[in-house]
Structure 1
């Protein structure tokens, strides 16, 4: 049962050092100069997962202020040779408390898409034509958001982020997605057909006059929530009131409806739902 590791994927980006000087006042961890996007939330998700499985050695490595500092120092060593180019850093944590990593370059992302003050409602333009005040994320590039053709069983491996990824890899394979595609596929659960999350992202839909994201309890229970992951950007958006929790049935999705997706590497991204109309 322990033949897996915990992991989180985060953004390394020297542009994050501009946050304190760009008038962004609610950036959390990144309010202090840091090249790591929401690092404290990434640590927290690793610690919650380690606690769930009772991995005492792993908890000891990352817990508390010392653990957060230890993780930051580890990452500083990882990025020392990256010459200032933004990268995705996949940090893995084993049961015995060993940190490891993988890294790959990622595209530039505007700070407004990393730290939005609101998500534009459907039909509302992004920051170039907004009528209100505050930072809005750009709606380009646009992602095509598909729906998996099969349901997925809720489990502790969909609630916590681990290297057991067969359910996500399977959904991406069924949708024919390649890593470079500006596409995402939504998973839905086998209990009531509620959307769980995207294969690589949290998802947000416009319902009842607000943006909502599928319900995820803080700790895993088989009978509560959609079955998805409590992502870092999801937590950030909920804590700041950009979105609310609400179950969203896959059957309620409408072809071409606007949505948002997010993750700890690329921030908030605009999308449109694309249904397989041949099955209608």
Structure 2
């Protein structure tokens, strides 16, 4: 039976978005990415997409005060984030939190430095990340709702899925894919996944293609409208397509992405029982 989020039962929650501050980002964009979304000179990764994501969540939940605050101009939103950065020479992980009254706050934590090219889609750079993430599949389905489409602090289902996979620390290079009651991959607990598949697939041109392509689950499967997902689609790195859980192959490689770590290469692990140590 699919679980029901505590938020559906009336739990108090806020809307959130996590993003990366990286002082090296503007130069990387200048040298490598002509089509990166504006503002191109910002050290905040996919800044406009994060604000758009928060706006979409506020609109979905009918939070008029939050919507009014979030619809400030992007320069003002960036200045709001600037006030939280302790040292502008280092990378940071930011967690933007907005409540129903339109009050915003930012939690800031250190984050590991890495090759900033990993913030660009894999089609824009040739480097291969040195470490593969382990990618597991959850044993219990999650019921899609506004709390899976939009990112909020009501994340009990995702926390439970990670614990079932034996992932106990955010520092682990491991991910769990969550599944809807139809047996379709929705997303990862903290990432968007991409799988290599052969057609017939509706390609970026709108025409059916039988060529191999990177596929990410459509929002109709119930997953999150993530910022790096939007970026990957805009770059035509991937197309949308339903990914049945039964189609996954033990040992196949996949890409993962999020708004803090960019793009990471993973390997699907089906041969291990949840909670079993490697």
Range of TM-score over shorter length:
0.7 to 0.9
Q: Give the C-alpha shift of residue 142 in structure 1.
A: 1.1
User: How is 1:129-208 mapped onto 2 (pairs within 5 angstroms)?
Assistant: 134-177=124-167, 178-190=169-181, 192-208=182-198
Q: Are 2:20 and 1:11 equivalent residues in the alignment?
A: yes
Distance in 1, matches of 2:117 and 2:30, equals: 13
Establish whether residue 106 from structure 1 lines up as the match of residue 114 from structure 2: no
Give the corresponding residue for 1:219: none
Do structure 1's residue 89 and structure 2's residue 64 form an aligned pair? no
After superposition, residues 74-85 of structure 1 pair within 5 angstroms as 74-79=80-85, 81-85=86-90
Contact 2:58 2:64 in 1 (8 A): yes
1:29 alignment partner, SS class: coil
**2:214 aligned residue:** 211
CA RMSD of superposed structures (Å)? 1.6
Q: How does 1:246-261 map to 2 (within 5 A)?
A: 246-261=241-256
Q: For residues 259 and 197 of structure 1, what CA distance do their matches in structure 2 show?
A: 12
TM-score normalised per structure 1: 0.85
1:22 counterpart residue number? 31
Q: Which residue of 2 aligns with 1:121?
A: none
Shift of 1:55: 0.7
Structure 1 residues 240-280: Cα deviation after superposition (integer angstroms, max 9, x where no partner): 2110000001111110001000000000000000013569x
Q: SS of the residue aligned with 1:78?
A: coil
Tell me the distance in 2 between the aligned counterparts of 1:54 and 1:278. 41
- Counting matched residue pairs gives 251
Q: Deviations over 1:70-97 (max 9, x none)?
A: 2211101011x22522111000011010
Of 54, 61, 72, the residue aligned with 1:53 is: 61
> What stretches of structure 1 move > 4 A for 4+ residues in a row?
none
| DSSP 3-state at the match of 2:176 | strand
| Residue 116 (1) aligns with residue 121 (2) | yes
TM-score (norm 2): 0.86
- The alpha-carbon distance between structure 1 residues 2 and 59, as it changes in their structure 2 partners (threshold 3 A), is farther
Matched, 1:62 2:64: no
Asked if the contact 2:28/2:117 (under 8 Å) is kept, the reply is: no
Which structure is higher in RCO with an 8 Å CA cutoff and minimum separation 6?
Answer: 2
Q: Which residue of 2 aligns with 1:122?
A: none
Post-superposition Cα deviations, 1:184-232, rounded to whole Å, max 9, x if no partner, equal 0000001x1000000000000011110000011xxxxxxxx11100100
Shift of 1:11: 0.2
Pairing partner for 1:44 from 44, 49, 52: 52
Structure 2 counterpart SS, 1:163: coil
Which runs of 5 or more residues in structure 2 are unaligned?
A: 1-9, 199-211
Query: 1:42 & 1:94 partners in 2: Cα distance?
Result: 16
Name the CA distance, whole Å, in 2 between partners of 1:159 and 1:11: 21
Q: Which structure 1 segments of 5+ residues have no match? A: 119-133, 217-224
1:102-129 deviation per Cα after TM superposition (whole angstroms, max 9, x unaligned): 11111123232111361xxxxxxxxxxx
